Amino acid sequence: MKFEIVIAGGGFAGAYCAKTLARQLGRDSINRVALVAEQNVMVFQPMLAEVAAATLSPLDVVNPLRQFCRGVNVLRGRITEIDWERRRLLLVPGRFAKTTSVEFKHLVLALGSVTDLSRVPGMPEHSLMLKNVGDALKLRATAINRLEQANLETDRELLQKLLTFVVVGGGYSGVEAAGQLLDFLQSVKHFYHNLEQVPLRVVLVHSGPNLLPEVGVPLGLYAERKLRARGMEILLNTRVTSITASRVFFNHGDPIDSTTVLSTIGNAPNPVIVELCRSLGLEMYKGRIATKPTMQVIGRERLWAAGDCAAVPLGDQPSSPPTAQFAQRQGKCLGRNLARFLRGEKLEPFYHRNLGQLASIGRRTAVAEILGMRFSGFIAWWLWRSIYLFKLPGLQRKLRVMVDWTMDLFFPRDISLLLPPPTELLNDMYLERGDIVCHAGEPANSFYIVKDGRVDLFDGDKMIKTIRAGQHFGEHSLLGNGTWHYSAMAAEPTKLVSVGRGAFETLFRSSEAFRRALAEEEAAEQPQEPERHETVPASR
């Protein structure tokens, strides 16, 4: 696939860039512009806390990219590599389709940031996040599940653990999520009759001296006062040092017993951007790729960047704030600049005056700092809702959200527990003769054990090895460069057990016995004569 312009990322910056560019280029843009994103929706992240608190439905906060960015070619998949020298990127669409190479003349980087919880021991294993719709649904389901379990519990100690919720991070997302979680729990607890006399705790932990450093001290103090009055415990100047399945430890004070921790900290640069900057020697500012005010990456004329992954100068500041407000405006300005570049016109430097900040803290209260004026309470909350409703892209979404918010005024929150089935670490697979397990060169995501039948491995057209019942394959590809070194095809009706990459790596890292068994088996293996030569089909 070849396009004149490829926009990588379908968040605020990427989607608005694509929409603006499509308008500028007119009918031909569908053949000239591609938008590449991991999800086929744009997520309105500022409203995720409301999905977790069951005041909004998940469909209210997403917008399908194909409908929002009409006029550009939307390609859904995960970008694993950007090869700037060859002007192409590699896109993994999912298990049943092959890795695709997408070529470009211009590339826009709008990949946002990622969450890296690995700096706090136990945080990746035992805490929830709030970055996308799946996270919000998981948080909601976990909260309801804790109430259901607590309702049956007679052990006081365990009961208290189940009813203690810890939120880490006192910035926007932490305060909004904690406020919404407290509202949700307090408003539905009376449906659990055994819990009527049992107190529940929501504890907000923040490393700084004031909540919401983004909106200044007075509003941070207001938010703190309001949240404390509603029963929230707030620990300031406190850092979480580690988390286990049932306890949270701090740099001072006693640990808290809790089985539910939400982490809103740990913003980290997107690894695809880090790798590109490293390989091309591009300048970065605080983990963001440095651009000129026109959003061209410094030192590369046809490489552009916007949104949270980019450090776009703002006046005399080296970087604009990493917020939706700026990402959206940068996206629009970049769309116009790309069209100007193609027409050979002068580019427009990005400038946007920060309009202010808003944070809803639950119970129809919010704090707002708009054009230098500060509001709090109900008026700020009303402003928050009106502004976000106005900003929500698409009339259909706006109407849905209005209906959901109106319903919330009159009806209790929904406590249906819709848990997705647990992800199995091992999956059974059945293959007919000739079915392909993997193609050489594609990303390797599983380790396979043959339960029954036979799998042949191929190097090009040449069969190099046969794997029989009880034997396995995949470990070299997973532990090597992460791509398949060969193709694999079922030689007869075959049953396999697949072990996902994460589970395999955990097992390999943590079990000496497992590593030894793999090594011993490899050493004992005799070189095998291929039994039969067959050509591996080009496609599945």
Task: List the one residue from 12, 341, 350, 486 that touches ligand FAD (CB under 6 A).
Answer: 12
Single out the segment in contact with ligand FAD by CB under 6 A; choices: 39-47, 116-124, 291-299, 510-518: 39-47
Contact 501, 487 (CB under 8 A): no
x/- map, 245-284, ligand FAD, by CB under 6 A? -------------------------x-x------------
Distance CA 153, CA 146 (A): 10
What are 459's strand-pairing partners?
462
- Which residue intervals of 130-270 are DSSP H helices? 133-152, 156-162, 172-188, 217-229
Name residues contacting ligand FAD, limited to 89-128 (CB under 6 A): 110-112
Query: Minimum distance between the CB of residue 4 and ligand FAD, rounded to whole angstroms?
Result: 20
x/- map, 395-434, ligand FAD, by CB under 6 A? ----------------------------------------
Query: Minimum distance between the CB of residue 328 and ligand FAD, rounded to whole angstroms?
Result: 8
Residue with the closest Cβ to ligand FAD? Answer: 11
Q: What is the CA radius of gyration of the chain?
A: 26
Task: List the one residue from 5, 6, 11, 473 that touches ligand FAD (CB under 6 A).
Answer: 11
Name residues contacting ligand FAD, limited to 347-406 (CB under 6 A): none
Single out the segment in contact with ligand FAD by CB under 6 A; choices: 11-19, 51-59, 390-398, 466-474: 11-19
Query: Minimum distance between the CB of residue 27 and ligand FAD, rounded to whole angstroms?
Result: 26
DSSP string, 356-388: EEEEEEETTEEEEEETTEEEEEHHHHHHHHHHH
Residue among 326, 356, 49, 313 nearest 216 (CA): 356
What are 233's strand-pairing partners?
203
Distance CA 444, CA 459 (A): 16
Query: Minimum distance between the CB of residue 222 and ligand FAD, rounded to whole angstroms?
Result: 17
Task: List the one residue from 54, 117, 130, 489 that touches ligand FAD (CB under 6 A).
Answer: 130
Single out the segment in contact with ligand FAD by CB under 6 A; choices: 8-16, 22-30, 230-238, 430-438: 8-16
* Bridging pattern class, strands 267-269 and 100-109: unpaired
Residue 46 interacts with ligand FAD (CB under 6 A): yes or no: yes
x/- map, 279-308, ligand FAD, by CB under 6 A? ----------------------------xx
For residues 177 and 499, which CB has a smaller minimum distance to ligand FAD in the complex? 177
Residues whose CB is less than 8 angstroms from the CB of residue 80 and which lie 6 or more positions away in sequence, other chains included: 90, 91, 92, 99, 272, 443
For residues 198 and 370, which CB has a smaller minimum distance to ligand FAD in the complex? 370
Backbone angles phi and psi of 465, in degrees to 5:
-165, 150
Residue 327 interacts with ligand FAD (CB under 6 A): yes or no: yes
First CA to last CA across the chain, in angstroms?
20
Residue 381, amino acid: W
Please list the helix, strand and coil fractions of the chain in percent, rounded to the nearest 5, in that order: 35, 30, 35
DSSP 190: G
Task: List the one residue from 39, 145, 186, 466 that touches ligand FAD (CB under 6 A).
Answer: 39
Residues that bind ligand FAD in the complex, under the rule CB under 6 A: 9-14, 37-39, 45-46, 48, 78-79, 110-112, 130-131, 172-173, 270, 272, 307-309, 322-325, 327
